[in-house]
Structure 1
Amino acid sequence: MHITSLVVHVVPDQLSAVVNRLSEVGDLQVHGTHPSGKLVVTLEAPRAGVILDRVAQIQQIPGVINASLVYQHADSRQSFDIGASHD
């Protein structure tokens, strides 16, 4: 599983429209917005390639200026299963 956080910069007067379009992107959550046109979002996907495809999708949304990767974490499904068995 890959978990990635991004800061998405948008044209301020298009903030609401961009947030609405982001709701169409799979496994994406908007965690914060600022009137200056900044959004904090996370993406989850089974493979890094899916993350890259979704970032490209975000960058094509009208009103998006840039989507900048802040953090990415990758963990195997096996490590999730091992952690769960030690409860």
Structure 2
Amino acid sequence: MADELHIASLVVHVHPQALNQVAQGLLQVDDAQVHGTHPDGKLVVTLEGPNAGAIMDKVAQIQQIEGVLNVSLVYQHAESRHFLNQEVGHDQHPA
């Protein structure tokens, strides 16, 4: 598909003492968002990009942040931007 949006979710495992440092480092990764953290050293992160290669490049960038132990790709979805920009209708069900 041309003109796609890929969305991926990750769990980033880090040294617990590096949790804040890694969260700050993730701010340098384009289109990365941290949605949650756990004091044991886990972050829930989403990435967006135009293709799977761009997502994997961002995963590689995250792996290079000091304090990161592992990056686990949990889910990846691709959707045409055309469909993402369409209005969602509501189904009418008879009473």
What is the TM-score normalised by the length of structure 1?
0.92
Task: Report the counterpart of residue 84 of structure 1 in structure 2.
Answer: 87
Task: Report the counterpart of residue 75 of structure 2 in structure 1.
Answer: 71
Gaps of 5+ in 1: none
Task: Report the counterpart of residue 39 of structure 1 in structure 2.
Answer: 43
Task: Report the counterpart of residue 21 of structure 1 in structure 2.
Answer: 25
1:75 partner SS: strand
CA distance in 1, matches of 2:39, 2:28: 21
What is the TM-score normalised by the length of structure 2?
0.84
CA distance in 2, matches of 1:9, 1:80: 31
Letter paired with 1:36? D
Using the TM superposition, give the Cα deviation of residue 86 of structure 1 relative to its aligned residue in structure 2, in angstroms: 5.9
2:21 partner SS: helix
Query: Percent same amino acid at aligned positions?
Result: 62
1:40 partner SS: strand
Which structure: larger Rg? Answer: 2
Using the TM superposition, give the Cα deviation of residue 25 of structure 1 relative to its aligned residue in structure 2, in angstroms: 0.4
Using the TM superposition, give the Cα deviation of residue 79 of structure 1 relative to its aligned residue in structure 2, in angstroms: 2.0
Using the TM superposition, give the Cα deviation of residue 43 of structure 1 relative to its aligned residue in structure 2, in angstroms: 0.3
CA distance in 2, matches of 1:86, 1:77: 17
Displaced runs of 4 or more, over 6 A: none
Superposition RMSD on alpha carbons, in Å?
1.5
